[in-house]
Amino acid sequence: MAHVTAAPALRLDGVAYAYPGGRQVLYGVDLEVTPGERVAILGPNGAGKTTLMLHLNGVLRPGAGTVEVAGLPVIEANLREVRRRVGIVFQDPDDQLFMTTVRDDVAFGPANLGLTGEALVARVERSLDAVGMAHVADSPPHHLSGGEARRVALATVLAMEPDVLVLDEPSSHLDPLARSELAAVLQGLDATLVVVTHDLPYALQLCPRSVLLDGGVVVADGPTGELLADTDLLRAHRLELPYGFDPRTLNPRTASTPASPSSAGERR
Amino acid sequence: MGAGHLVPLTVPGPSPVHAAPPQVKVAAALLFVVAVVCTPRQAVWAFGVHAALLAAVAVLARVPARALLPRLVIEVPFLAFALFLPFIARGERVEVLGLVSVSVDGSWAAWNILVKGLLGLTASLLLVATTSADDLLRGLEKLGVPSVITAIAGSMLRYLGVIDGQMRRMQVARISRGHDPRWFWQARAVASTIGALFVRTFERGERVHLAMVSRGYTGSMPTIRPLPPATAAGWAAALAVPAIASLAAASAAAGWPT
């Protein structure tokens, strides 16, 4: 999936953005993500995480600065290609899943890309298999549990075979098991991963690198373990490890204990 | 997330009616209702023909009467209005059982509403009992309804449950804070809930659109599962029902067999 290119998978250069009405949210964000990398974008509420995310596939266009996806500038003429390459999984699956059946919803993206017939059917099945949700293909989305809906939402984006997968708060509203099942699915993917979250242990589990965003700028960028061990840095930006976590014992190797893939297919 | 409060109208089952292409069923049901509406109200025998046709379809589809009857209750408010007509309409009057005098014209009008409503409703219920909502929309699309209209209807079906759930949660939260809407002046909180719900629904619409755009949506719905074209035999079988009904309506209108 990830093309071997010299260009970075994502490259943001001095991205600034103000919403119509004047509220400025981003004040010059520089960020480079190499193909295959897994990066968490951390930050408190209101840091501009979601706004930044919407720049990655051209839903929002920067007021100043540039965004490039695999060397391709995000401009009107490239939007179709950019949206094929960058898939965003939104926070609320109810926003993402809008068709009357899971199957049609997963087919929506690739059908927009021009896939039809057998190729489309095969793509849908492959995507649902990848998240262990093939058995709900004909269910309406509102019959799914929270964890199932989240995985199906992921499948709708995987179906577009993106090079870069962006997830907005993937662990919110999930019970512990659904959380680790989703982590197992994500860890099995080849795509470049950008996880926007303030769930710090989840960032540690999924992403070796973290970028801390606050006040519309990048305030820290480095290995997740080191970043999370810096208690002063976290506190200065309204972040905190959950109760019971000791920053001195943070070790990404031991922290990531993926659930067995077989459990990912079970329905609760 | 899940709503599940909405009762599905579809009665699942393998039957020739279930298997028929949806566009054929939609067209047949629509033409049948037109035939019913065009039937002169005095031609009681013609309504018998219509009812027999529906009964035949129900038997063929194996839709039990107990699945249909409770749903017919939706017609009750209209019937309540129809029941007044014999008493309040003007014109020639007759005594019934020597007790009350009713208007002849009003009685026919009430009968007209009752029978046409009942037949039309039963036909629609049979259609939705044998066709899933999804297929129904695809059938409409096949019949030339613009895909943007069917997409809107589809989203409505999809989000009805979501919005319903949201409304219930807001209601529970309100009651939990001691609200006990009993008096008219307490309607203010209910009205604000509805207002808030409207705004939230509107915002949800924006987020859904954003998610669609992110998946390459450019304003027209892609064809995901094209329906197989209906065979001539399928059309003939399904259209036989409205054809017989139209024949009955037409002969009644022509004054036959009085």
pLDDT in tens, A62-90: 999 999 999 999 999 999 899 999 999 99
Token code pair at residue B203 = 């915002």
The mean per-residue pLDDT over the stretch A105-117 comes to 91
pLDDT at B86 (0 to 100):
84
- C-alpha angle with apex B126: B120 to B131, nearest 5 degrees? 125
**CB-CB under 8 Å, B211 with A94:** no
Q: Can you give the pLDDT at residue B8?
A: 67
pLDDT at B3: 38
pLDDT at site A128: 96
Q: Give, as one character, the DSSP assignment of residue B68.
A: H
Same domain for B41 and B89, yes or no, is yes
Best of A92, A112, A113 to substitute, by most chain B Cβ atoms within 10 angstroms, is A112
How big, in percent rounded to 5, are the helix, strand and coil portions of chain B? Answer: 70, 5, 25
Cis bond leading into B228, ω under 30°? no
Q: What is the CA radius of gyration of chain A?
A: 18
Residues B172 and B155 in one domain: yes
* Residues B122 and B33 occupy one common structural domain: yes
Of the pLDDT bands very low, low, confident and very high (cuts 50, 70, 90), residue A263 is very low
Q: How is residue B178 written in tokens? A: 């001691």
A14 touches A29 (CB < 8 A): yes
Average pLDDT estimate for A160-175: 93
The rounded Cα A186 to chain-centroid distance in angstroms is 10
Provide, as residue numbers in chain B, all residues whose Cβ is less than 8 Å from the Cβ of A140.
158
- Identify the residue among B201, B214, B225 best suited for mutation to test binding to A, counting A beta carbons within 10 A and taking the highest: B214
- Based on the domain organization, do B199 and B232 belong to the same domain? no
| Cα–Cα dist A166/A124, whole Å | 19
Distance CA B166, CA B212 (A): 22
Q: What is the DSSP letter of B11?
A: -
Two tokens at B14? 């393998």
Alpha-carbon B7 to chain mean position: 14
Model-level pTM? 0.77
Q: How many domains does chain B have?
A: 2
pLDDT at site B240? 93
How many contacts (CB atoms, under 8 Å) link A and B?
Answer: 94
Q: What pLDDT is attached to residue B172? A: 85
**pLDDT tens readout for residues A193-230:** 999 998 999 999 999 999 999 999 999 999 999 999 99
**Tokens 């490239």 correspond to what residue?**
A78
Q: Where are the alpha helices (DSSP H) in chain A?
A: 49-55, 79-85, 93-96, 102-112, 117-130, 146-158, 176-187, 200-206, 224-229, 231-236, 252-255
In a domain? residue B219: no
Name the residue with tokens 């014999």: B86
Residue A261, pLDDT score? 42
Q: Which residues of chain B have pLDDT under 50?
A: 1-5
The conformation of residue A114, written as its DSSP 8-state character, comes to T
Residue A199's identity, in one-letter code, is D
Domain that holds residue B101: 16-140+227-253
The DSSP H or E segment spanning A15 is: strand A10-18
Query: In a 3-state reduction of DSSP, which class is residue A12?
Result: strand
* Same-domain status, B232 and B118: yes
Query: Do both B23 and B132 map to the same domain?
Result: yes
Cα of B212 to nearest chain A Cα, Å: 7
Q: Are A90 and B212 within 8 A, CB to CB? A: no
The tokens describing A41, both together, are 């974008």
Which of A100, A143, A144 is the closest to B154 by Cβ? A100
pLDDT for position B258? 54
Q: Pairing state of beta strands A72-73 and A64-69?
A: antiparallel
Note whether B24 and B126 are same-domain residues. Answer: yes
pLDDT band, very low/low/confident/very high, at A251 (cuts 50, 70, 90): low
- The pLDDT of residue A119 is 94
Main-chain dihedrals φ then ψ at residue A78, nearest 5 degrees? -100, 5
Q: Is residue B150 part of a domain?
A: yes
Cβ atoms of residues A250 and A228 within 8 Å: yes
Residues of A in contact with B214 (CB under 8 A): 57, 59, 83, 87-88, 90
pLDDT band at A37 (very low <50, low <70, confident <90, very high): very high
CATH 3.55.50.30 fits A10-250, yes or no: no
Give the separation between CA A221 and CA A208, rounded to whole angstroms: 11
Banded model confidence at residue A6, pLDDT cuts 50, 70, 90: low
- Do residue B101 and residue B161 come from a single domain? no
In a domain, B151, yes or no: yes
Nearest CB partner across the interface for B224, out of A80, A107, A149: A107
Q: Where are the domains of chain A?
A: 10-250
pLDDT at residue A266, rounded to an integer: 41
Please tell me the predicted confidence (pLDDT) of residue B229. Answer: 79
Q: Are residues B47 and B133 in the same domain?
A: yes
Q: For a pLDDT cut of 90, what percent of chain A falls above it? A: 74
| pLDDT of A268 | 40
Q: What is the pLDDT of residue A51?
A: 93
Mind listing the pLDDT tens digit for each residue in B46-84? 999 999 999 999 999 999 988 888 888 888 888 888 888
Residues of A with CB under 8 A from a CB of B: 54, 57, 59, 80, 83-84, 87-88, 90, 92-101, 104, 107-109, 111-113, 116, 120, 140-146, 149, 156-157, 160
Mean pLDDT of chain B: 86
Give chain B positions within 8 Å (CB) of A100.
133-134, 137, 154, 157-158
∠ CA(A24), CA(A29), CA(A32), 5° rounding? 155
Q: By CB neighbour count within 10 A (0-12 exposed, 13-18 middle, 19+ buried), where does A178 fall?
A: buried
Identify which of A84, A95, A120 has the shortest CB distance to residue B211.
Answer: A95
Asked whether the predicted pLDDT for residue A262 surpasses 50, the reply is no
Nearest 10 degrees: Cα torsion B113, B116, B120, B125: 70
The CA distance from A48 to A195, in Å, is 14
The token duo for A20 is 């119509």
Q: Measured between alpha carbons, how far is A187 from A38 in angstroms, rounded to an integer?
A: 10
Inter-chain touch A112–B158, beta carbons under 8 Å: no
B117 shares its domain with B185:
no
Q: Are residues B34 and B130 in the same domain?
A: yes
Examine the domain organization and report whether B113 and B199 are in the same domain.
no
- pLDDT grade for A235, boundaries at 50, 70 and 90: very high
CA distance A159 to A152: 10
Q: Which of A168, A164, A155, A166 is nearest to A123 (CA)?
A: A155
B62 belongs to a structural domain = yes
State phi, psi for A126 to the nearest 5 degrees. -65, -45
